[in-house]
Structure 1
């Protein structure tokens, strides 16, 4: 396909979408806009975009595809602004926000002007941010949710999929309500719980001086998502508050049941609670990306002697395998291995696994 693609917001997501479109549609012109001028200029230097936007309105009005890759609150403001412009008659407008209902509601301003808007949410991310972290393969095999405003938009949905075909993502069409309900359960609510668990640990730090050190193991792992951007998650929580409030009420009811089981020392009831959770969790897909960014960790049971870490990283270097983090685990309850190495992709972890299997006798474990 060819035409002008206007990407508003040149962070990790916007930059990565620009790269995938450039690769798949080399005849298209990618115009980038970001409120941070240095990010926009860096995107041009890195070849992520073809042009830096000099004038938002004029660039929007010559676009065939507009991608709003900005925070949700900002996206809603851009939609209001776009509705006042003289856009092309057949322009497609989409976004990348993690909640959809408020964005889709705002998009009614575009519909009134016969402008096509299709909500979008690529479920992919990285431990890095900014346009410098953008990469073509970010969305590969990830779910990419599309939320058209009307079922009659099937032609436009197919057109948007063609524009985004270079992502190699798995496209799923949902209503905005379905999207927010699902992501509320498996992404937004878990972030609230993780943050509350960390807050509880912080409150007890003075009472138990060793708490922070011992939390470096499994507790740190299960609360990793609490390290996400406070600005982004405040934004998401407020935009999906109805779903989150309903989930919170149900969760508190569940906790009251657990409280009663503990008070009554009901072993069978507790066993059923943990068994049902384990059964369902064990059935979840282990090889597909989901709403929360996957962590690809390899646990290595190594002897504690000088040079063992450099030995392992040396093997990875020989095979040109990149790692994102490496940690020695002091507290290891329910975790195999004394060394945890994190990778960007499952492919990198598998390469590392087979590399060490061939070159060492260490015990290796994956979740």
Structure 2
């Protein structure tokens, strides 16, 4: 009898292979392009080209990736890489790579940047990074190139049927609100007021992207940051428990983002569909029932130093754990590829509990 964890992982691998096969053999993806914006959870190499200490271009990052260390903050592929597999779309190149031009941009571009946040100041202690507002500006640079390559009609069709994945918010808490010695936001804003500030800025940039022709948006909320090894190592939580105070402060943002999606879909943005991804709920399911997904270690990093391997994150040439598919967390802040695979599968084909008002597969099937 096959164990459920092994069987589930087998199904995911087979489906990912079939998606990639279908794109290659049939020449048809489920969307013409994927545009990825966000932070280190989906950065696939942008910070390699920036003056930043938030980098992952060294071993053991990428230890299980066919290209080795690529700038991805995990052992192999990110959430957006795997979601692209489900859609039959190759991982788009990083914007900051000088080679990202010409035909390479037709399938999409990745603008995500480690330490980047919704607020321009979030993560500034790491050095250069692309914030949300800068990523929107960078997209407009790409758009200028596309206008020289495509007819107006073809460009409109490309933009309206592409999938936009935006993963933001974590750094605004981890590398801003939860750092009172470096940032004044926790002294200037209540938890509710801070969430409203983030959502107001987020909505402004979503409006900017809508105004230039993008129509299909997938907006994951923030996962349970109080459960990452960094917070377990530095927070005031009993052994075996997450830092509840951190998790609770994310509620106003996640709930507000879901409401914002509902408002944007309520006739104010004709021709567009915005989808909320319940990252908090899906990741909580992984942490609450790890054996269901083949995980045996949920409270410490595969690569790191100190309490929960989260006091100091993964350093160059460190020796990571050998059973990486059994760990939820790769380093102090980021999931393993195995955890990313669960998140991507649930985003792609999950129920309305995982995604609202539809999943990414249904979003891709719409023709706008």
TM-score range, shorter chain: under 0.3
TM-score by length of 1: 0.25
If asked which structure has higher relative contact order (CA below 8 Å, sep 6+), I would say 2
Q: Which has the larger radius of gyration?
A: 1
